[in-house]
Amino acid sequence: MGILIKNGTIVTAGDTYAADVLVEGEVISLIGRRLAEAGQTVVDAAGKLVMPGGIDVHTHLELPVSNTVSSDDFFTGQRAAAFGGTTSHIDFAIQPKGGSLSDGLAHWHEKAAGKACIDYGFHANVTDAHEGIYAELPELPEQGVTSVKLLMAYKGTFQVDDTTLFRVMQAAARHGLLVMVHAENGDVIAELTAGLLAEGKVAPHYHLAAHPEAAEAEATCRAVSMAGISGALLYVVHMTCAGAVEQLAIGRAKGYPVMGESCSQYLIVFEDRLQGADEDPFAGAKYVCSPPLRTEMDAEVLWEALADQTLQAVSTDHCPFYYEGGRDGRPPGKELGRENFTRIPNGLPGIEDRLVVTWHLGVNGGRISPNRFVALTSANPARIFGLYPRKGTIAVGSDADLLIWDPAARRTISAGRQHMACDYNIYEGLEVQGWPEKLFLRGRLIVDGDRWLGEQGGGRFLHRQRSEWL
């Protein structure tokens, strides 16, 4: 007996058409009109869209940060992702100082073991460029990891120098690995931060002053130029501003193998939130992330870049912290920076809201088509990160990761109904149209409306292939 999804409209990155989908076991076995119902479990999708499950390639679950840890683990974060329509994500396995990339991967496998409830993969995050890592890079694909990340910011902790970045790019080009970068000039940020603190400027909104747009644009230019020299496939994460997009576009016009993503928060939540509120000036701490929130003008540039293929994906950089942590069993959170903005844990919650926010603003807003929505949130991530066509499409033989989407459903986003382990929501009060109704992971119904039907341990590690994106 299989599962037959009938009467829906299938939407992929390239096509929109009315058809039924038959799922047998964990894969799609047949697509066609008026498929026979006998012996099948029938799901009626009349009036609904049937899309591939979302893929979020930029998350930080259970991430150690300074004196705390991000508040979602591999169960709570993945369950929240599923309620938002996401069936796969890729997290960052942090190389420990003095350790190997394999040490970081092993530790992240331990974090996910027995908790994962959707499918997941890892990027290898280079933080300590000792000679041993260069010998490890060619071995990563054997472990199912085909992407490495380096940070050009966070001086004194995660930041790598240009020599390291370029050497990793050269090695990546030789071995078919994709290089991801956090593009901000960490040296400039460190100097600006020191100056602000010396002047006693410690409120949350000074985080923005320490992270100017030009510091992101300059670092993007540098990374794009190095990719052009080395031939490495480059993916710039969480792009926020017009200046950075301009630098990426210049590289793409020159034929460099470069691409980028933005995140749903940068499309609607702006820098004025960092000012807080009259009744709670520290409330701006909720919105501290790096790179920081920008302006409405920057958001319009991002939308144009997402529509014209300058940018290839929308992710989340999901890294939540409680606003009032350190009590009632909660890990410490944003309150750590009450006296000094540099101590506020950087990161925002968003893994649950990515699809509804992007659909509402993008499709309902007339900025992108439903097909482009699928490309940005599922198909492109699958192609870029070595999961296609197993994931990211609806085709015979593909995993039956299927999202039944109700384009007419109206909801109001609120922390009161979210599944993320966080005590606020950055989209609080946003009224959206378009909502996930049912979600299948490899043929198993794991979300049905407000009901959770998945299970801890039901998610699988994704052994990824090299990127096919050129």
**Cα 334 to Cα 424: distance, rounded to the nearest angstrom:** 11
270: CB partners within 8 A, 6+ apart: 293, 294, 295, 296, 299
Confidence (pTM): 0.98
**Cα 105 to Cα 232: distance, rounded to the nearest angstrom:** 22
**pLDDT computed for residue 129 by the predictor:** 82
**pLDDT computed for residue 452 by the predictor:** 98
Look up residue 464 and give its two tokens: 């990824």
Domains of the chain: 53-364 (3.20.20.140)
CA 77 to each of CA 12, 61, 139, 383: distance values in angstroms, whole numbers, following the listed order: 26, 7, 29, 24
Which stretch of DSSP H or E encloses residue 374? helix 370-374
Tens digit of pLDDT at every position of the chain (470 positions): 899 999 999 999 999 999 999 999 999 999 999 999 999 999 999 999 999 999 999 999 999 998 899 999 999 999 999 999 999 999 999 999 899 999 999 999 999 999 999 999 999 999 988 888 999 999 999 999 999 999 999 999 999 999 999 999 999 999 999 999 999 999 999 999 999 999 999 999 999 999 999 999 999 999 999 999 999 999 999 999 999 999 999 999 999 999 999 999 999 999 999 999 888 999 999 999 999 999 999 999 999 999 999 999 999 999 999 999 999 999 999 999 999 999 999 999 999 999 999 999 999 999 999 999 999 999 999 999 999 999 999 999 999 999 999 999 999 999 999 999 999 999 999 999 999 999 999 999 999 999 999 999 999 999 999 998 75
Which stretch of DSSP H or E encloses residue 59? strand 54-59
Phi, psi of 8 (to 5 degrees): -90, 175
**Cα 213 to Cα 188: distance, rounded to the nearest angstrom:** 11
Cβ(18)–Cβ(394) under 8 Å? no
Look up residue 170 and give its two tokens: 């050269």
What are the helix (H) ranges across 69-121? Answer: 76-83, 101-112
End-to-end CA distance of the chain: 40
HSE-up (13 A, CA, CB side) for residue 293: 23
**pLDDT computed for residue 470 by the predictor:** 56
**pLDDT computed for residue 353 by the predictor:** 98
